[in-house]
Structure 1
């Protein structure tokens, strides 16, 4: 940051003026504060680094909760969006665009979806889940099975599938006939599924539950059991998809093919976009013309972003990088043998540092003070979901700093 001009060297744009306290007061005066008090007021970013309005730099190891796949201000994404803005930003869905068609084709190709599969583009993960709910209702059934610990969004349909009571209770009555079962319990799953079940929805790695992968045996049993009773198997890949876990989609590592898949987060690299992907003509045909829609869904700007993200991930080998870098990071943190660390969970570049004590909030604060952005996803777990472009050197900076961060947090948490 140029102190005299207030111009960001990274972006070439003029920084906003005002202290963090000033901006937070204006936020409190103008926003519906459903997110609580923001921890920072961020001004700009480049690569895996962001700067706040007072010029402090932070290594972003959360990437907008697994959203900024290519980091910040990636030149390819900036160029693609600039071109699209100068061409078309929005058209109604009375029409289509080359960007929308090409993005749908690319998603189906990477998902290895069979002929007759399809993509419905929307604007968020919650909207993708809402589309999945409507898809399941078209089977003529209404019972939905989800997992304890699940997070599928906060719109009224999606929050009924989400398990956390604090998200659900204030908005009851929710849609009926939703049943939650323990994860990785095949017996409980078998008991919950029957000929009344419209769909089973699950996350291959439960992100908001603390980055907890479901076992391969469980996922394969889910596929077999849903097939037996004629229910849809829907995998929620909103957080785990788009190379985040070391394959294009996490379910591909387990050898299963779902009936449908929800996407969002990393698909647009920061531009809002979600998708419902159906596998095969029988499932695709459940939703007929006029039975669902979205004004902004599939708009050319978002689809141009998605195409660029997918092409860049493939060109730069970021699927394999996510797997290798994530495994390397897990080994390095484990090798520290710090007494506060119980285990490292997750896959690829979606990881959790599981702590022996419920001090995750203190750890996240100490990390931020040391220049690292991480997330206390559970009282005893820190979530790491850095941009897929993160380097070994950047991850090593965290590993080097982590003992001091943990010790500082422990000191704060000691009565």
Structure 2
């Protein structure tokens, strides 16, 4: 009997060690990891630059609390703000905590309560972030949610217009809906949301928990469209596996979260922040982003070339290293077969295989992964005949 709550449906692979794009199981097998720890290990497993930064900080101090000024928090905040072309940062421990802070900041800054989000969105599992999430299955069994959230269809500007008013504190969205099935927003929709927020004095919150820190080939996904959000939330890829999240805000929001209005014991922990600095030093280099964009084009083009001809593949969508393959078939069974073939991937919704390879993956590794996917999907065609 396990002493753990049965919160997760565990896979059959127990990790032994990992490096780069590969995870090695206690079963003696080697697996290409196209999950990156669910979009976390953007530099692959155990990147040397992060390992060295963490070891250096371990020799100094691990935790002192946020009652002290901590130099590496300022360094990390400066890098985040500069990359986002924004101004101020609050550090948390996770994506859910970052989104919680974004929601609190928006309500306190505007003095309004209503926040609009979108069907099939995912923003976290605290009560506020569950309430923000546009998926009923996330909320089942937990009783009433917060009443101040309204949901409209994603990519539907007219639906959003019908809900906008001077009572709306914020509109909150993902540039690419991740858990909802890898659905990118259109440029017209995103710019329309930004315009409506300005018109009604509402804040524009972009959830970059999964899309941020280089995942789409730019530091943040919103930068593909020239958007200027008021608040951006980040986590997952920020710390290369160490628990850290953050919100980034514009300068006019700086004094809203005054001393005592919000806080966290562990947010901005020196070890996590050291890992974030090392991660950003690599990913935010223009040459690194250019290379990711080139490899992402290779990934998408090769997937389309090899998979779209298959009758059980409906669509391939996404940006950068965040790709969804919509299929006709039992996705959990397909994912298990992929693991048997040496590739670890994820689901996103009921019919989508989600690929989140490390940004450091080579073209050879990407091609090998695509070959495994092609082979498995071909077998499912034959078994269905």
Q: Shorter-chain-normalised TM-score: which range?
A: over 0.9
Shift of 1:268: 0.3
Summarize the alignment of residues 168-179 of structure 1 with structure 2, pairs less than 5 Å apart. 168-179=139-150
Q: Check if 1:299 corresponds to 2:269.
A: yes
Aligned residue in 2 for 1:345 = 317
- Is this contact kept in 2: 1:150–1:206, CA < 8 A? yes
- Alignment deviations for residues 273-315 of structure 1 (CA, whole Å, 9 cap, x no partner): 00011112x2222221110000000111111000000112245
Residue of structure 1 aligned with 2:247, choices 266, 271, 276: 276
- Is this contact kept in 2: 1:121–1:276, CA < 8 A? yes
Shift of 1:407: 2.3
Aligned residue in 2 for 1:75 = 48
Task: Rate the CA distance shift 1:306–1:176 in 2: closer, same or farther, 3 A.
Answer: same
State how far apart, in whole Å, the 2-side matches of 1:268 and 1:409 are.
Answer: 38
SS at match of 1:174: coil
Aligned residue in 1 for 2:25 = 52
- Is this contact kept in 2: 1:71–1:387, CA < 8 A? yes
- Alignment deviations for residues 154-182 of structure 1 (CA, whole Å, 9 cap, x no partner): 01110101111111131121111211100
Aligned residue in 1 for 2:370 = 399
State how far apart, in whole Å, the 2-side matches of 1:238 and 1:289 are.
Answer: 26
Residue of structure 2 aligned with 1:319, choices 283, 286, 289: 289
- Is this contact kept in 2: 1:362–1:409, CA < 8 A? no
Aligned residue in 1 for 2:37 = 64
Shift of 1:396: 0.6
Summarize the alignment of residues 136-285 of structure 1 with structure 2, pairs less than 5 Å apart. 136-138=106-108, 139-280=110-251, 282-285=252-255
- Is this contact kept in 2: 1:322–1:348, CA < 8 A? yes
State how far apart, in whole Å, the 2-side matches of 1:204 and 1:35 are.
Answer: 27
SS at match of 1:83: helix
State how far apart, in whole Å, the 2-side matches of 1:316 and 1:73 are.
Answer: 22
Summarize the alignment of residues 345-384 of structure 1 with structure 2, pairs less than 5 Å apart. 345-355=317-327, 357-384=328-355
Task: Rate the CA distance shift 1:326–1:195 in 2: closer, same or farther, 3 A.
Answer: same
Paired residues in the alignment total 382
Aligned residue in 2 for 1:95 = 68
Structure 1 unaligned blocks of 5 or more: 1-27
Structure 1 segments of 4 or more deviating over 4 A?
Answer: none
TM-score (norm. length: structure 1): 0.89
SS at match of 1:285: coil
- Alignment deviations for residues 357-396 of structure 1 (CA, whole Å, 9 cap, x no partner): 1422222111100000001222221000011100000001
- Is this contact kept in 2: 1:67–1:266, CA < 8 A? yes
Shift of 1:401: 2.4
- Is this contact kept in 2: 1:358–1:379, CA < 8 A? no
- Is this contact kept in 1: 2:323–2:356, CA < 8 A? yes
Q: Check if 1:121 corresponds to 2:91.
A: yes
Shift of 1:49: 0.3
TM-score (norm. length: structure 2): 0.96
State how far apart, in whole Å, the 1-side matches of 2:256 and 2:354 are.
Answer: 37
- Is this contact kept in 2: 1:121–1:297, CA < 8 A? yes
Shift of 1:316: 8.2
SS at match of 1:191: helix
Aligned residue in 1 for 2:298 = 328
- Is this contact kept in 2: 1:318–1:388, CA < 8 A? no
- Is this contact kept in 1: 2:343–2:372, CA < 8 A? no
Shift of 1:90: 1.0
Shift of 1:35: 0.9
- Alignment deviations for residues 172-214 of structure 1 (CA, whole Å, 9 cap, x no partner): 2111121110011111011111111111100000011111100
Relative CO higher for 1 or 2, CA cutoff 8 Å, sep ≥ 6?
2
- Alignment deviations for residues 343-370 of structure 1 (CA, whole Å, 9 cap, x no partner): 2100000111121x14222221111000
SS at match of 2:140: helix
What do you get for the CA RMSD once the two structures are aligned? Answer: 1.4
